[in-house]
Chains A and B, each alone.
Chain A
């Protein structure tokens, strides 16, 4: 048990390290650096950067040093809690990310809840009423959600709600709350803006979960103990809900860790379309502009969150399901 825990922990740390190197390599892959971006931005707004100025900027940002030294500098600073400065936003990375990280988590968690809220009952229904009309109908709807490109759906829904409902276009807050300090009214305003992005985001993952839930439950329902319970004449509701659903939930829970990066990735695209203040648009923008410290931090942060999520879900699984604990040892 302890050795399992330690092993998982070491693995998680190793994974995080690889993730950090990969994050850094990936943001270094595209040709050009921030100064190139800066020059092109300047020229777009009609200004000049001389070659000497560009060189002094490169020196200033340490861009003229080998990549591994830049990585070393970066990771050492990260470990001391200093994420560096965003070159495009010209403020510390942690200030740039700031609230956006929590909005990302908020939207992802909201999407996760919606996903569960839809997938659980539908999955149970589909398993119990296998091959019924309802089973087919729900499965179909779930799959349509999976199949429709969600960025397109986001724009369509946003446009239609603008055209026919006169709704605000995009964002997480109404204009009047954008600048306001936090209050109950602002919180309520935020809650009102949450359903659209979280439902669109949830649609993709729901079909997957319905399928997993349905399959797991079908497996459980065929087990001897269920047959025994039925034979004993226990009420059907109790037969299904008491043990099979709980047993089926275990593998279901383990998908959470993998659903998270999926939702975060999905939220990147949707956030751009809906103009949500999450890390998604920030990430895309920083990758394009080669804003290394910012891009690196976001990739690292999301990767680490996922690793931690996986780790926690492993522990939870081990705790709730003795069989898994046994297998893992």
Chain B
């Protein structure tokens, strides 16, 4: 691997590259290698974009995600036309008027008038980052008449705007995932580290615990724990409890990675060298060992996130995760999980797209990071 890396860089400037490579820090090396992993790089960009969406969810939302209206139940997505009839760039949508067909009982949507789009328009009130109160949204309709609305991805049964709900759901699901990963990271590093450092009985106990947790079928564990949440908890409390539950069952993989890395690094020459040089235990761990597997931890983290997201959606499917009025990807998927939605409003399946994209992105990112984490490998 080293040879190949050398081979490629030396083509440009053999001597200096060799020098740079030799004195580069661990993270620099990782970054250099990671940069060449195009798919992982692209995935990283996607992940960043998703978190930007999460940060600016309300700003990107077009309508109040909770606002219901029977007159637009199961309304299909609207197409944005970029150019006006005269060919000038004036994006518009054709707004719809709905009625129920008395024979088929389906909603029928008649095309109504043309309404132009504008940017940075006032809409519902929200607080940005919990700090500024504002009502400015990225997109909106220019001079809408009563009943006019912009539904980029259509609406659900209650007539709520799917696009806006997806924006808000992204925030909820991604933060649950992140919070869950942080908790399980903490547990994983702590217990994995203890396991590796102390060994013996402690190691044994922790390893058995991991084995037991892994040999439990997860669904009943989730169900039992989620069903045990106190009934008078608010939506937010349940949100955090679900996060903790998911994390409590997800730390085992991280603990194994950490333990394995600790053990193998202990045998490495540079650790032995540090020991011989008289470095203390803590210094060895934090100065020498930790940096060398930090990138592994990042990789493991990004690989753990998809599992968190899938857990959240599965729990919601079983009716044990977040409950409405909370909005998460799992809840949006649950809304799509019935025959009438498949037959009458297939656009509700769009809720699965961000889930699939982010899971792919995290996986490729994690893969790339893991490959890159072994710069000398």
Interface residues of A (CB under 8 A from B): 11, 14-15, 18-19, 22-23, 26-27, 29-31, 136, 140, 143-144, 146-149, 151-152, 155-156, 159, 163, 207, 211, 222, 257-258, 261-262, 264-265, 268-269, 280, 283-284, 287-288, 295, 298-299, 302-303, 306-307, 310
Kindly identify which residue among B208, B225, B318, B360 contacts A143, using a CB–CB cutoff of 8 Å: B360
Distance (whole angstroms) from the CB of A265 to the closest CB of chain B: 5
Q: A261-B214, A299-B216 are in contact. List 13 more A-B contacts (CB 8 A).
A: A15-B208, A15-B212, A140-B360, A149-B310, A149-B333, A152-B333, A156-B342, A207-B363, A211-B367, A268-B217, A268-B219, A269-B219, A284-B219
A interface, by DSSP: helix, strand, loop or mixed? helix
Bound together, the chains give a CA A269 to CA B337 distance in angstroms of 12
CB distance from A232 to the nearest CB of B (A): 21
Binds A, one of B145-153, B170-178, B294-302, B349-357: B349-357
CB <8 Å contact, A299 and B356: no
Collect the chain A residues with CB atoms within 8 Å of residue B349's CB.
152, 156
Closest to A302 in B: B217
Task: Give Cα A288–Cα B224 distance, bound, in whole angstroms.
Answer: 9
Q: Pick the contact of A146 from B216, B339, B359, B367 — CB < 8 Å?
A: B359
Q: Which of B216, B231, B357 is A31 in contact with, Cβ under 8 Å? A: B231
Could you list some 14 contacts between A and B, CB below 8 A?
Answer: A15-B208, A19-B216, A22-B216, A26-B220, A26-B225, A29-B225, A149-B333, A152-B336, A156-B342, A159-B343, A261-B218, A264-B217, A265-B218, A306-B217
Give chain A residues whose Cβ lies under 8 Å from the Cβ of B314.
149, 151, 269
- Tell me, rounded to whole Å, the shortest Cβ–Cβ distance linking B317 to chain A: 5
- Kindly identify, within residues 224 to 243 of chain B, every residue whose CB is under 8 Å from any CB belonging to chain A: 224-225, 227-228, 231
Minimum CB–CB distance for B66 against chain A, Å = 23
The minimal Cβ–Cβ distance linking B98 to chain A, given in whole angstroms, is 24
Check if B359 sits within 8 Å of A147, measured CB to CB. yes
B212 touches A30 (CB 8 A): no
- Chain A residues contacting B337 (CB-CB under 8 Å) are 151-152, 155
Give Cα distance in the complex from A112 to B357, angstroms.
26
A140 to B219, CA, bound (A): 27
Residues of B within 8 A of A152 (CB): 333, 336-337, 349, 352
Whether A299 and B217, one on each chain, are in contact in the complex, defined by CB atoms closer than 8 angstroms, is yes
Q: How many A-B residue pairs have CB under 8 A?
A: 122
Instruction: Name the CB-closest residue of A to B253.
Output: A258
Look across to chain B and name the residue whose beta carbon is closest to the beta carbon of A11. B208
Q: Which residues of B contact A14 (CB under 8 A)?
A: 208
What B residues does A144 contact at CB under 8 A?
356, 360
Q: Within 8 Å CB of B338, what residues of A?
A: 155
Q: Scan residues 288-318 of chain B and give those whose CB is less than 8 A from a CB of chain A.
A: 306, 310, 313-314, 317-318
Per a CB cutoff under 8 Å, which of A269, A299, A303 touches B317?
A: A269
Question: C-beta contact mask, B199-228 vs A, less than 8 Å → 1, else 0?
Answer: 000000000100110111111110111011
B39 contacts the other chain (CB 8 A): yes
- Residues of B within 8 Å of A310, CB to CB, are 211, 215
Nearest-neighbor residue (CB-CB) of B357 within chain A: A147
CA distance A287 to B339 in the complex (A): 26
Looking across the interface, which residue of chain B has its beta carbon closest to that of A154? Answer: B337
